[in-house]
Structures are given as structure tokens and as C-alpha cells.
Amino acid sequence: MSAAPETVPHPDKASLAAGTAERILDVVVAAQEERGEAGLVLTGGSMGTAVLAAVAASARRDEVDWSRVDVWWSDERFVAADSPERNCVQAAEAVGGALALNPDRVHCMGSADDFATAEDAADDYRRELEAAAAAQHGTGPVPRFDLSLLGLGPDGHVASLFPGRPHVHEQEATVLGVQDSPKPPPVRVSMTLPMINSAQRIWFLVAGADKAAAVAAVRAGAPLERTPGAGVHGTEETLLLVTEDCLTG
């Protein structure tokens, strides 16, 4: 049985972004000291991009060899490659070239310019993950994720796994095309919960009083059908990094 997530409150969005950036640097530095590389899974949204901007602005950023960091995404909008709605586009803008990442190790999900369907893009990403896993440890569908960052919607959704949708019950660690997202755009690509949960550490980034009910549901272990975020558990650590109004809203 996975332990309930630990809740770590912050006074406001700025302190949440800055504090999380320092936590990320600690994790990546430790991973590289252990084995020379690290694997991160990123999220979109305002807090996800604010955290990446804080990492890029940190005085400690050069403690990391960014060329030895693999960057993945848990979900993506299936739109044009240069669309500002894409999580990977938002991430690149937030970092602004401040991190010397190896382009071959930045794994963006395929766009509508690259594939005819979201299912095709999902299959391609699954194969990319499998290839990375094989290079690392010879087998398995998932490479090592030292840390995965996740948002949490007011409805309790995570990645592009929404309440009441069959995808939340998928038992396989894989990547899916999503056709019926209730939040636009409707067509997306998403990791399943088993793949998300393969990460060693998972940190929710949650800000705003409108998220209070969702945070309470995750903390209470609400049914997966109603709150997909309640089914998220890292193999070693799960944190709810939140602004205080998420707990009092």
C-alpha cells in the first residue's frame, strides 16, 4: 500500500516555484552523483512553467550537467508543433536557453504536424520510452524517472487523465491517445497512471483556492473514478507542493 502524499504548503506561487526549483536541483545533483545522469518528467500549466523558469534562474543551475539529463512529458496537446498550447513549447520558453540541454535527450511528444492521429503519436512515444529503457537496463517499458512533476486540475485530473474516462483504469504502463478531453483542446497524448507511477518521486504543483477541493480529495484518497490524482504514487515519495490557499479555499 502506497503512503498518502505528504503536503508541503507555501505562502504563494512565487515561493512555491522557487522552493520547488531548489528541490529539483537537489534531486538532479544527487542522481548525477550516483550514476552520472538523471531523468525528469515535466508538466505544463502556469506552475509547471514557473518552476522551470525558477530552475533556469537559480544561482545553483550550473551544479547540474544538463547535457546528461533526460527530459520527458507525462502528457501533451495534439496540436501543431509550434502551438503555444504545447507543454514542450511552454517549457522551452520558460527555460529560455539557460540550461545546456542535449536536444537528443529532450523527448517531446509528437505533434499534429508529425502524425495523423494522437494514437500514432502515442505509439511513437511508447517506442521512444522503450528504447530508452532498453539502453539503460536492457528491458521494460519505462526508463528511470528520478522525478515527475504533475499539475492537478480543479476536477482532480492529472496529465490528460480525466474523471469518468476509461483511461484512468488502464493497467498497463503505456502511452495513450485521448480523444475526448473535457478541457480543450480535446485531442491529447498521455501516459497512463501505471507509467506515471513508475517515477521514483512524484511532486504535484498546485496553486489557487479553486484547487482546494481537488487537493482535499487527493489527500483523502478519493475514488479514482472521481479523482484520478488520488491514484498517483511515486515509488519512493509523493509530495503535494501547494500554496496555502489550496488548503483553506
Using one digit for the tens of pLDDT, what is the confidence trace for 197-215? 999 999 999 999 999 999 9
With pLDDT > 90 as the criterion, what percentage of the chain qualifies?
A: 95
Could you tell me the strand order of the sheet in which 175-178 lies? 75-77, 188-191, 175-178
Using one digit for the tens of pLDDT, what is the confidence trace for 74-89? 999 999 999 999 999 9
Eight-state DSSP code of residue 167: G
**DSSP 3-state of 147:** strand
pTM, whole model, 2 decimals? 0.96
Distance CA 95, CA 216 (A): 32
Looking at CATH, the fold of the domain delimited by 6-248 is given as Rossmann fold (3.40.50)
Distance CA 191, CA 227 (A): 16
